[in-house]
Amino acid sequence: MSAHEKESVEQHESTVEANHGGVGRSSEPQFDPVAEAKLRRKLDLFLVPGVALMYLFSFIDRTNIGNARLAGFEEDLGLSGNDYNMVLSVFYVAYAVCEMPSVLLCKYIGPAWFLPLTTLAFGAVTIGTAFCETRAQIIACRFLLGVFEAGMMPGVAYYFSRWYRHAELSFRLGMYMIMTPTAGAFGGLLASGILSLDHFGSLKSWRMIFAIEGIISSGLAIIMLIIMTDTPATARWLTAEEKELAVARVISERPAQTEVVDKMNWAKIKVGLSNPVTIVSAFLFFCSNVSVLGISFFMPTIVRTIYPGKTRVQQQLLTVPPYVVGAFCLITASYLATRLNRRQIFLISTAPAVMAGYAMLLGTTNANVRYAAVFLTASTSYFPGSLCNGQVSANTVSDTARSVGISLNVFCGYLGGLIATWTYLPWDGPLYPIGNGLNLAVSGALGLAAMGGLGWMKFDNKKRDQVTPAERLELLAGLTEKQTSELDWKHPDFRWQP
């Protein structure tokens, strides 16, 4: 952020503080609902589409290897046995190692720089994948892809938390997380279209998939580098009144905070990482990603085992409908979570349909029933992608705590992704009882943990409600303004938002 932009941020935040008296006071500022609605529409128009497209192509570039597998990827590179699973795994090793540093870098340099630059980098790596000739080369490319994609998902969730109120965030996160199942559907259609070409330059077959999709990602990154902005206070497309309102709205929900973007320190990092709701949400996201990323990487393989007599293009196209159902269910759940300002109940609802789907895959060999089961597993399994990040954002206070909380959530989620790469092994096919059984188990664990988290939040809120004004003053006695702002979820005025 330039010196001029920093001055602008400070000016607007000081204006908000003067007009509204900060946060953590006894009365929360009231905002004009008409002005808020107009501002939300403007934020949605300028923020969501471009960010959603970047995330769409990050997921396509990550999972297009499943489509390439149907087009001779393994044979051309001499992969055999568990080599394909190893190639998938190395991505998540890099992702796990680089995810936390990536989010801190995102906060340090600003999302408007970080997100487009990392998109440009993973687009370039995807193009490079098209020219791989050996197993070592494809492993190197997948490792680099993990390095550059590590900050994308948590970076977007963190970026949106700078602009939207808690109740608004779930739907906006859903609007970009819908790109996860959309990537599966669109990626299958795009791969089918690309494979219908004779060649792309000197490239043929699966190599065209990586080259064309990588070029699209890189072009999108350059456009977003030009048009993105970091904070409401520096948005040229907002009026002075809209900037003040945008900053005030976000600060109003953060006890003892007087700024949207704070300075990092270890106290806020530690309180962000120790947040109980963040820890539970991270476990839920871990369980969810075992299923979600298993579906994303192995959907073409599963469909091929269900309908082995179909042509390659027909198999690609059959992967599309389950993703469409998943996208519809995700956006519906995210919309309802925003309208009700409740997320945990929808996280609980993730488990039953997914469990039923995997139980059907375990219990029958009928092709049509197994294909129907894939729809069930895809229907609700994507919910935690938006809701867990929304839950972390709603239950952290400072910008720093929020950034590391989202980072921890996504880190644990992609440890689940690492497990997912080994759930469907060649010798376990064609029915894959081990892979389907594992997914059934983690779906059940997700449901139980989500119910436990909801019960604990309600219990702890009741305890906080019983704190008297005198006890509150005693808890805050002797603390400086800085120390009070670092309490985060430990502040007596804080309440969990289920």
| Tens digits of residue pLDDT in 47-82 | 989 998 998 888 888 878 878 887 888 888 988 888
Predicted confidence band of residue 27 (pLDDT cuts 50, 70, 90): very low
Mean pLDDT of the chain: 85
Q: Residue 424 has what pLDDT? A: 85
311-347 burial: b if 16+ Cβ within 10 Å, else e: ebbebbbbbbebbbbbbebbbebbebbbeeebbbbbb
User: Which tokens hold the place of 188?
Assistant: 């299958």
Q: Residue 465 has what pLDDT? A: 93
Ranges 217-226, 320-329, 486-495, most confident: 217-226
Domain annotation for the chain: domains and CATH numbers: 34-490 (1.20.1250.20)
Number of other residues whose CB lies within 10 A of the CB of residue 203: 16
Rounded to an integer, the average pLDDT of 119-144 is: 94
Q: Residue 192 has what pLDDT? A: 79
Q: Over 90: is that where the pLDDT of 331 sits?
A: no
Alpha helices in 178-306 (DSSP H): 179-195, 206-227, 240-251, 266-273, 276-306
Q: Residue 254 has what pLDDT? A: 67
Predicted confidence band of residue 260 (pLDDT cuts 50, 70, 90): low
Q: 3-class DSSP state for residue 235?
A: coil
Per cent of the chain over pLDDT 70 is 92
Rounded to an integer, the average pLDDT of 120-129 is: 95
Predicted confidence band of residue 18 (pLDDT cuts 50, 70, 90): very low
Instruction: Write down the pTM of the prediction.
Output: 0.72
